[in-house]
Chain A
Amino acid sequence: MNQKTVYLLKRVGLTIFSLYAIVTVIFFLFRLVPGDPTTAILNPRMTEETRQIILETYGLTKPLHEQYVIFIGNLLTFNLGVSYMNGQLVSTLLFEKTLNTMALVMFALILAFLLGPLIGAYIAWYRGSKVDSIAIAILLTLRGAPVFWTGMLGIMLFSFTLGWLPPGGLRSAGFIGTQADKFLSLDFLYHLVLPLSVTTAYFLSMPAFVMRNSMIDVLNEEFIELCRARGMSNNRILYLHAARNSLLPVLHYSAVVIGFGFGGSVVIEVVFSWPGLGLLMFDAVMQNDYPVAQASFVMLATIILALNLLADSLSSFVDPRAVVEGVG
């Protein structure tokens, strides 16, 4: 096996291990709740009989190690139980909400990673100038402002004052169509504009800063001088030669932004009433809907870990040094 295969296998192994650890922590967290685990999930008005039935349904009367095996088995077979809130199958619920979250957060992340480096490259070229410091101030503000607050301001301005865009939700009331229609209709786009802009603006600054800093290093290298000597235009040097060589740190850094982005999905989705994983989890926590809260948490962690793995694998293809430097 060559070095790259070993590296990739190691990464896959670590990802699975991390996921396993997270799932295990979730399992024990639930069983370590002060008092009886059922106090958090059961309605106090339930009779002792109903309590026993529910305990047995969820296997909570068995010894801990057996419960653990059942728990892992259920996760692997996607047998996630039923929501306490509305009796729906958690797996169905999860699938639908994950698609919605992906449509917003992934889209925003992709836009941020397209626009951010462009902006970063541009201001790196004008480093130390007024353009640079104004752009930095704007980017820092976008990064520093709480995303739910900018979302609220957006709703105030575009929905309530100007009336241009809907204040939340994913589609208009009474919208009828198949799953595919949902994402391909104009109505969806109309609902997506505001959340997507706010979220993209929030994610944008990190790739932009990483790009700026790495560009500044690259721009000081000799080959840039050579490009200039050959009479290339500034734009050609900037985007064709320098930017290409500065993109690696951005890729390396994407893992952090991905975790940050999906973690932030809770507040983003609450503000825009976007029916995704974050909102699902929030509602579940508020109503002590344990199966849903647990499943959506594991789902979020899985998405983050999978995307991190993807980012690392891409890095190893683009930059062989990542393989040598190892996993740690």
Chain B
Amino acid sequence: MIPDTARKAKETVASRISSNQLLFMRRTVEQTIAIWRVFRKDPFAMTSILILVMFVLIGIFAPVITAYTPTQTFITSEGAEVLEPPSLKHPMGTNHISNDVFTQWVWGTRISIIVGLVSGFSVFVIGTTVGLISGYYKGNTDLMIMRIVDILYGIPAIPLILVLAMFFGNSLVNILLAFMLVLWRTMARVIRSQTLSLTERPFVKAAKAIGASDGRIIFLHIAPNVMSIALIQTILIVSWAIALEAAVSFLGLGVTGVSWGTMLQSSFVTGAIRTAWWWVIPPGASITVIVVSLFYISRALEEIINPEVSQHQQ
């Protein structure tokens, strides 16, 4: 009797899992529509998306947008075009060694977006996995991971990156590794607390009862339910990484080539901020606009996930 029932239950579950993909697709479409509805009503979020799309396009088409290269110098018969205010030839003027600021700004977009996306994606993978494992296994595993997270909270981000750069040099890979080290902690903590409550839900217990493996439960049953929160966190991480990259470059530990942070650094170090506003304002304003756009998008997504809050706020 009992084995029979168990087999039946297993078969039902099996057929359900095969139809899982269909369900998953339907849910994705539904979610996309739901997201679109909220965004359409939120002018700030819509503007933010447009702004981000614009910056991504600038980053992708950098070589097409500007005819010059970031390190190209402009020397005419009257001498080098040093610290010239904006003109038709140089829409954002020139810097202290007669580079075109507009070209540097366009190429800097690419660096910022790459750093943001790479950090965002890797922190998403690391933070979610660690958080899921910590929250699912509880006990000693959880205790150990959370202690590590606690310790990381005592370590200031920029000083840590400084120390790492001093020891291991400041290559792109090292900087990105340092970013991951600093940024995964919040993600892990948020996902863990979500997982803790999810493991108590009936569907997880049911999956355990029919003998699903831990890996299957974690990644097939629990993971999809933390994705929305992970997405919001990832967006915030991207904004963090972009700001952090700017700060690190500003300190002169910049990655490679020209980024918005290095532009600000050289304008500061050379004392050009006395006059050359055209060199200082574009990179800083772009960082601000991107980060604020990401904030607005994460706020809009939060309203979708947590409609109660938004109802309160009306």
Q: Secondary structure of the B side of the interface?
A: helix
**Interface presence of A64 (CB below 8 A):** no
A17 to B142, CA, bound (A): 17
- Annotate B43-63 by CB proximity to A: 1 below 8 A, 0 otherwise: 010000000000000000000
Q: Any chain B CB within 8 A of the CB of A148? A: yes
- Measured between beta carbons, the chain A residues less than 8 angstroms from B252 are 286
Interfacial chain A residues near B124, Cβ < 8 Å: none
A153 to B309, CA, bound (A): 36
Cβ proximity bits B271-311 to A, threshold 8 Å, 1 near / 0 not: 00111010011011001100110011000000000000100
**Are B162 and A301 neighbours in the complex by a CB distance under 8 Å?**
no
Query: Which of A77-85, A113-121, A138-146, A170-178 makes up part of the contact surface?
Result: A138-146
Known contacts: A19-B154, A144-B291. The answer to whether A288 contacts B273 by CB under 8 A is no
Contact yes or no, A266 B251, CB < 8 A: yes
Q: Which of A21, A265, A308, A328 has the most CB of B within 10 A?
A: A328
* Docked complex Cα distance between A274 and B33 (Å): 51
A21 touches B313 (CB 8 A): no
Residues of B within 8 A of A328 (CB): 142-143, 146
Residues of A within 8 A of B277 (CB): 156
**B265 nearest in chain A by CB position:** A148
Contacts of A201 in B (CB 8 A): none
B229 near A: Cβ within 8 Å? no
**Shortest beta-carbon distance, B238 to chain A, in Å?**
12
B153 lies within 8 A of A148 (CB): no
List chain A residues, Cβ under 8 A from B159. 263, 266, 278, 281, 296-297, 300
Residue from B146, B150, B162, B296 within 8 A of A282 (CB atoms):
B162
Say whether, besides A127-B313, A156-B277, A305 and B163 are in contact (CB < 8 Å): no
Q: Quick check: A266 and B273 within 8 Å, CB to CB?
A: no
B25 at the interface (CB under 8 A from A): no
Asked whether A33 is an interface residue with its Cβ less than 8 Å from the other chain, the reply is yes
Q: Mark A15-54, 1 if CB is under 8 A from B, else 0.
A: 0011101100010011011100000100000000000000
Contact B247 A153 (CB under 8 A): no
Query: Which B residues touch A148, using CB under 8 A?
Result: 247, 250, 264, 268
B312 to chain A, nearest CB (A): 5
Q: B153's closest neighbor in chain A, by CB? A: A259
B155 at interface by CB-CB < 8 Å: yes
The docked-state distance in angstroms from the alpha carbon of A135 to that of B275 is 31
Contact B162 A285 (CB under 8 A): yes
B239, CB-defined interface residue at 8 Å = yes
C-alpha spacing A305/B268, complex, angstroms: 32
A128 at the interface (CB under 8 A from B): yes
Within the complex, the shortest CB–CB distance from B155 to chain A, in Å, comes to 6
Give Cα A294–Cα B159 distance, bound, in whole angstroms: 10
* Contact stretch, chosen from B5-13, B164-172, B212-220: B164-172
In the bound complex, how far is the Cα of B268 from the Cα of A308, in angstroms?
34
Using known A-B contacts A21-B151, A308-B153, determine if residue A40 contacts B295 with beta carbons closer than 8 Å: no
Q: Is A9 positioned at the interface, with any CB of B under 8 Å from its CB? A: no
Contact indicator B251/A146 (Cβ below 8 Å): no
A259-B156 contact in complex given A148-B264, A328-B146, C-beta closer than 8 Å? yes
Q: Does B157 contact A (CB under 8 A)?
A: yes
Contact B158 A266 (CB under 8 A): yes
Question: Does B32 sit at the interface, judged by CB under 8 A?
Answer: no
Are A152's CB and B264's CB within 8 A? yes
B197 within 8 A of A: no
A193 at the binding interface (Cβ < 8 Å): no
Question: Is B246 interfacial (CB 8 A cutoff)?
Answer: yes
With known contacts A128-B313, A216-B313, A152–B273 Cβ distance under 8 A: yes
**24 pairs, A vs B, C-beta closer than 8 Å:** A17-B147, A22-B154, A29-B163, A40-B166, A141-B288, A141-B292, A143-B291, A144-B295, A146-B264, A148-B247, A149-B283, A213-B309, A216-B312, A220-B312, A259-B153, A262-B156, A264-B158, A267-B158, A282-B251, A285-B163, A286-B252, A294-B163, A297-B162, A301-B154
Residues of B within 8 A of A (CB): 44, 142-143, 146-147, 150-151, 153-160, 162-168, 239, 243, 246-247, 250-252, 264, 267-268, 273-275, 277, 280-281, 283-284, 287-288, 291-292, 295-296, 309, 312-314
Beyond known contacts A140-B295, A153-B284, A266-B162: 9 more, CB 8 A cutoff:
A14-B147, A22-B154, A29-B167, A149-B246, A152-B264, A152-B268, A259-B153, A282-B162, A297-B163
Residues of A bordering B, CB below 8 Å = 14, 17-19, 21-22, 26, 29-30, 32-34, 40, 127-128, 133, 137, 140-141, 143-146, 148-150, 152-153, 155-156, 160, 213, 216-217, 220, 255-256, 259, 262-267, 270-271, 278, 281-282, 285-286, 288, 293-294, 296-297, 300-301, 304-305, 308, 328
